[in-house]
Amino acid sequence: MTVADDDKNAHVAGEHGHVPVMRDRMVELVGEGVTSPDAPDTPVIVDGTLGAGGHTEVFLEHFPRAVVVGLDRDPAALAQAQERLARFGDRFLAYRTRFDGLGDALDTLVDDGRLPASVREHGVSGYLFDLGVSSMQLDQAERGFAYAQDAPLDMRMDPELPTTAADILNNYAHGDLARILKTYGDERFAGKIASAVLREREVEPFSTSGRLVELLYRTIPAASRRTGGHPAKRTFQALRVEVNGELDSLAAVIPEATTRLHVGGVAVFMSYQSLEDRIVKKALADLTVDHTPPGLPVALPGSAPDFELVTRGSEKASDAEIEQNPRAAPVRVRAVRRIQQTDRDAQRGTR
């Protein structure tokens, strides 16, 4: 399960068994693909952001014929999910990869005989992408995602990535640091913070989150600290996105995932930041547009879109759910369904 940074940091200690955000709605949306007339006898669901496995567990319980492939770059998350979901046997398949590696993951699982060949020949029934950092990762203080407690400035979802948040703070030039704070964190004081970081790292390199939080309190004006949540929220978000290449992988995975849907299959995206939601919104709009050249009085044959939006705009959690699970407050959900298959996939160089 993935949640907004403020809510995550406020609840970072001592929480286990998290309730998946919009659990019932995710079952409903993904279920439209699993139960569609074109679904194979063994529908395949891909949970592209497995985490602790909460959503996957619900899918396996609700769809007894389905196999769920859980993707995650974090070996600790995979190990925890495999233990949690062991009772489902070979109906759950874990695979370590960033979610934009799903094509290679599916092909490998088919080649190994762990997935039916229909996945390659026919397609996937449903996807869920619950974007951002997981609650489980925030609960592990040593990962450095949470600004609510002092910890090493790591922030790598995959511990084998070469660059940590500390590396960025200690090595990036002023312009590059200010750019990521502004672009990925929407930080008004990006230039001022970057200048303060450069001065501070000359005294001593950054290594822990507590020192960065103290710098941010000193640098951001008091009037601005009183609104917009914790003053460290935007900087920590920007560093995490940069460390993990999150927006690049999101932009890459949407065409890869949707071209592997069978007719009737559904892809669902849960965003907690405006940056993510804008990428998803634009990509899904492009998928669902008519390809008739502008100015023609009627639609050309074969120009109708291959996909249609399942959600109207972005869906939000209900007031009742937010009251019981405050972590659901910022989520925005968008979903798309495949309605036909043309040769435009081949023209895009995909499956």
- Look up the pTM and report it: 0.86
CB 104 within 8 A of CB 80: no
Task: Give the pLDDT confidence score for residue 343 in this predicted structure.
Answer: 56
How many structural domains is the chain composed of? 2
Q: What CATH code is carried by the domain that includes residue 131?
A: 3.40.50.150
Q: Which two tokens stand for residue 96?
A: 């370590």
Q: Is 269 annotated as a binding residue?
A: no
Check residue 18 and give its pLDDT: 66
CB-based burial label for 73 (10 Å; 0-12, 13-18, 19+): buried
State whether 196 and 129 are in the same domain: no
- DSSP annotation of 351 reads -
Same domain, 75 and 220: no
Domain boundary residue among 220, 244, 268?
A: 244
State yes or no: 111 annotated in a binding site: no
Token pair in block for residue 203: 């005294």
Last residue of a domain, one of 244, 276, 298: 244
- To the question of whether residue 137 is assigned a binding role by annotation, the answer is yes
From 218, 244, 270, give the residue that closes a domain.
244
DSSP H or E stretch at residue 186: none
pLDDT reported for residue 304: 84
Q: Are residues 289 and 193 part of one domain?
A: no
Length of the chain: 351
Mean per-residue pLDDT pooled into runs of 10, the chain (351 residues): 41 48 96 96 96 95 97 92 96 96 96 92 96 60 63 90 95 98 94 97 95 94 77 90 93 96 98 93 94 73 88 94 88 97 52 43
> CA-based angle 7:12:18, to the nearest 5?
80
Does one domain contain both 189 and 213? yes
Is there a binding annotation on residue 72? Answer: yes
Q: Do 25 and 118 share a domain, yes or no? A: yes
The single-letter code of the amino acid at 193 is: I
Tokens for 140?
């592990």
Same domain, 131 and 263: yes
* 99 annotated ligand-binding residue: yes
Say yes or no: 27 and 175 in one domain: no
Helix axes 209-219, 190-203, angle to 10 degrees: 130
CATH code for the domain in which residue 151 is found: 1.10.150.170
If asked whether residues 10 and 124 sit together in one domain, one would say yes
Q: Find the domain containing 212 and state its range.
A: 142-244
Whether residues 96 and 177 share a domain: the answer is: no
| 278 & 337 share domain | yes
**Residue 184 shares a structural domain with residue 172:** yes
Residues 46 and 128 placed together within one structural domain of the fold: yes
